[in-house]
Amino acid sequence: MLAIASTYAYKWGMASLDHYIDELLSRGRAWFSREEALDALGVGSAAFIAAARRLCKKQRLVSPRRGFYLILRPEDRVAGAPDPVRWIDPLMHYLGLDYRISLLRAAAFHGSSHQAAMIFQVIVPKQLRSFEIGRHRLQFIYQTPLIFAKTNLPEALAQVKSEAGFARVAGIELTLLDCTRYFHKAAGINNVAQIVQDLGARAEPRILAKAAAAYENSAVRRLGYLLEHAGHACQAKALEPYARKAKSMKPLDPSAKPLSESIAEIHEKDAKWLLVINEPVEIDF
The 10s digit of each residue's pLDDT in 139-166 is 999 999 999 999 999 999 999 887 667 9
What does the alpha-carbon distance between residue 228 and residue 226 come to, in Å, rounded to a whole number?
5
Beta-bridge partners for 161: 166
**Which among 53, 55, 50, 70 has a CA at the least distance from the CA of 8?**
50
First to last CA, the chain: 75
The residue among 45, 90, 81, 38 whose CA lies nearest residue 60 is 81
Mean pLDDT of the residues in the chain: 89
C-alpha R_g of the chain: 24
Report DSSP letters for 63-74, one per residue: EEETTEEEEPPG
Looking at residue 163, the DSSP 8-state letter turns out to be: T
Lowest-pLDDT range of 201-210, 266-275, 276-285: 276-285
Residue 267 DSSP symbol: S
Q: Which CATH architecture has domain 2-76?
A: Orthogonal Bundle (1.10)
pLDDT tens-digit series, residues 76-113: 988 999 999 999 999 999 999 999 999 999 999 999 97
CA distances (Å), origin 29, targets 26, 90, 160 = 7, 10, 17
What mean pLDDT is predicted for residues 19-45? 93
Query: What single-letter DSSP state applies at residue 260?
Result: S
The answer to whether residues 147 and 160 touch, using CB atoms and an 8 Å cutoff, is no
Return the domain boundaries, the chain: 2-76, 86-277
Average pLDDT over residues 239-265: 80
In one-letter notation, the amino acid at residue 145 is: P
B/e letters for 138-173, b = 16+ CB within 10 Å, e = fewer, are bbbbebeeeebebbbeeebbbebebebeebbbbbbb
Check pLDDT > 90 for residue 59: yes
What span, in angstroms and rounded, lies between the C-alpha atoms of 82 and 89?
Answer: 13
Min mean pLDDT across 147-161, 233-247, 257-271 is at: 257-271
Given a cut of 70, whether residue 69 has pLDDT beyond it is: yes
Average pLDDT score over residue span 270-282: 91
What is the per-residue pLDDT for 265? 59
Helical segments of the chain, H only: 2-26, 34-41, 45-57, 88-95, 103-109, 145-151, 172-181, 189-199, 205-212, 217-229, 233-238, 240-244, 261-265
Tell me the pLDDT band of 261, cut-offs 50, 70 and 90. Answer: low
Query: Does the pLDDT at position 14 exceed 70?
Result: no
